A and B are shown apart, each in its own frame.
Chain A
Amino acid sequence: MDAALLPNRFQNWFSSRGWSPRTHQLQLVECLRRGQSTLLIAPTGAGKTLAGFLPSLVELDDRGKRKPGQAGGIHTLYISPLKALAVDIARNLEAPVTEMGLPFRIETRTGDTPSHKRQRQKTNPPDILLTTPEQIALLLSDPASEKLFSSLKTVILDELHALVTSKRGDLLALGLARLRQLAPEMRTIGLSATVAEPDDLRAYLVGQPLDGTRALSSLVEVKGGAEPDISILESEERLPWSGHSCRYAMGDIYQLIKQHSVSLLFVNTRSQAEAVFQELWRINEDTLPIALHHGSLDVGQRRKVEAAMASGQLRAVVATSSLDMGIDWGDIDLVINIGAPKGASRLAQRIGRANHRMDEPSKAVLIPANRFEVLECQAALAASKKGDQDTPPLRKGALDVLAQHLLGLACADPLAPAQAFDEIRASETYRWLEWETFEKVLDFVATGGYALKSYEQYAKLRKGKDGLWRIAHPKIAQQYRLNVGTIVEAPMLKVRLVKSKAAGRRTPIGRGGRVLGEIEEYFIEQLAPGDTFIFGGEVLRFEGLRENEAYVSRAQTDNPMIPSYMGGKFPLSTYLAESVRAMLAAPDTWKALPGQVRDWLEIQQDKSVLPSRDGLLVETFPRSNKHYLICYPFEGRLAHQTLGMLLTKRLERMGAQPMGFVANDYALAIWGLGDLSLLFSSGKIPLQELFDQDILGDDLDAWLAESSLMKRTFRNCAVIAGLIERRHPGQEKSGRQVTVSTDLIYDVLRSHEPDHILLQATWNDAAEGLLDISRLGDLLARIRGRITHTALEHVSPLAVPVLLEIGKEPVYGEAMDSLLEEAASELLLEAME
């Protein structure tokens, strides 16, 4: 590929910096020149962003400066999942653009952009606009959108692999479908890390023909640079059986930080970040500058950490996925992944953070938190060597997002259903959409979509004599604008520092002090005043709740009472799960494992049996007046929790008197009063029947009626679909108020109209998300006829980790009413004493 593709001005700029354009950067210019949408897959540090912009810079340079008064629209849109990324990119583009004296305007537009500027951007748009999927939706709902986008030439989608895995990706897909109509000449550029199925992304980037064939964009792939140098920590310390704290390894981690100039420590959850940060400072004898970064911290504090990181003032940052993406953090020479990686691709992307120059190897150390995680780390290491990827497959577009989009379309222009249907089906994520479903969604947007057609008179959309649908009132457009977006935050409470009440004063809590950040409401719900927990790297004492704020004071202790680990946010990937099962079933591969882990597995082999690769091992044994069932599906906590719910229901019906269960990523433990060993071996309860696929029928249905997870999912769908408002003009509706009413709506809707489109949307979400039903279905199919039961005298070595979770993790399965009853009878006892 020849650099002569570039105008002189560009060639000179490259050589003035001692650079030459990379092949893939030129390839992209070439593809775009030919009018082809293109996917660029490249590892971090390959100059991906510049590659994405280069074709537009060249084209705009060619066009020259817009003459005063010359009407113009946006030439290039850059869309990123993070608004921080958009701002960061704008800053990075500034250098080449001013140095080359390029004649055009680049602006950002995010939720933080002042409204006068946003207004101006509509009448006098910049040549290049850097923005987010939500802002695109907003712009498209504006009657001016046609004019604004009619001369659009290029859309650059950054971090596409991350965008497409969520409902934001659905919203963006619908936005792109609309843009293709407004600007038929538009081409797209997708920038992505390595993924398992590049064709999914290539299809996402282009309009799909309606005849069922699949169109793909061009592909430019940059093979990974130097192979990363990954190792698993070999600690002298004893490896824990369970837990996620990695406390045992803190000394080793501290040494690693000391030996490197800047380390990035990745953890899986906020509370894990808190715990690690606190532990490190406890042993930080050299007072190394170690900082903390997670999404719940106050924005100002996060920005400070980011700035300090970029300017090289820090030696280490403990971070959650809030730092996973794109932004350049300067010279990191070590990534430490604390806890299990959960997915091979996730690990690869995290490791890519180290050493932003692609020809030098990135260095990473994995720290398993317990024995099972050693196996998982080992599997991830092997995957990295082979270059295997396990990114999830492309989503099926969500119905609630479609509802939001349809209202947006109608706000911009009268909506022609048949035309909109074809436009939407031309996007890869919605090509499955059927006319009947589309009509139902449209009906939902107009009147709520109820079989009982009682809201016609209040319709938000009305069909005119010309067959076009129009919004009934300008107020509807205003409502839409306030509710746009697919991110529904878990209800959060502000954490405010106040003086302790423990000092003996019984006065009401004083006027609030500094806000430390935000915390999930469901976490605070389980605290009583006086409980201590870790937040923002400090041990805090919970003082009380006032409206949307949790009041806390600094605690005089190092040992928080409430263990705050809330479980891994990311489920173990199917790929890694399979590798771990394969490893367990093949003792000759254990040589690579630490001695402690090998011993553990050998004793398991001796005392019980090893789980097989494709089957399911079920162990039963008695322990302190209860009978336990442990099974090892390795399908991740979410699928296990769902399975636990269903199995306990079924065991109850079969007379086994189950009492509760607990799940982790690898195993599920159920206990009860019935002698499970006997019930299974006598054939009274046939195991095949217990684990039959029909458990996903009636049992699931019965449970869903009660499930709080399902209600939370419904709430998100209801907000996104616009059934209930995110907030009212002038008044933010607090998360907690929304929770109350959607639970009631869910109950009413479920009993009266179980086929309602919003319940369908909820079900689709639950199947993939919180309940992981699709994965559970795969598991049940896999193990058919392959269940091994072993009745034991004692607990087996493999069962120890999950049993240790009892008391740390929430225990499920006890009916709410019996819990109430127990609480009530305790009260009686108190009264009788």
Chain B
Amino acid sequence: MTVAVIQFGGSNCDRDTVRALDALGIDAELVWHEDGLPEATEGIVLPGGFSYGDYLRAGAMAARSPIMEEVREAVAAGTPLLGICNGAQVGCEASLTPGVFTINRSARFQCEHVFLRVENADTPWTEQYEEGEVVEFPIAHGEGRFEIEDDRLDRLEAEDRVLFRYCDEDGNVTDEANPNGSKHNIAGIAGEDDHVAVMMPHPERVSLSDIGTTDGQGVLQAFR
């Protein structure tokens, strides 16, 4: 599988993502957004960063760039897509997933490790984990608070499309363990179909054993 990691102006986790995928034996390449999706694309990552300086709203500009039409078509044809951090903001702004990631409750940029509880282990992104398992991922965002209308939140939860929630070390989903004020502690969700997912925490930053833990590998293995 060739995974296209799309670089927008201001993306900055693109190379990390390619390296993390390479380390898992998954073929990945950087794709500059103006060059369009390569023919051989079998997976897509919208990486982290600060595309277009977070102008207007984080992800708003990249979500409306021409390559996103190709991304939409590829996703509709079944190509798996993962949006990480700024890529998650782009995914929501592009309506690939519902809701929006907006300014943290603290009004501050937060860069820290958090615990996540795996809510649904029956998706390509989470099948390497057990339901209820607690994993540790880093976050690094100023706009990571998940907001969504109540009726759409009900539907998202009823359809079991919440992948990860912020929790404490023991897996308790509490307000104290919610780093950014996200509705119902939501850290990552799937789209209408579970081959699309977005998440604010960074799996690619916990995928290389040389630099720490490898809890994030399970998410990236969806591209195998």
Chains A and B bind each other = no
Interface residues of A (CB under 8 A from B): none
Name B's A-contacting residues (CB within 8 A).
Answer: none
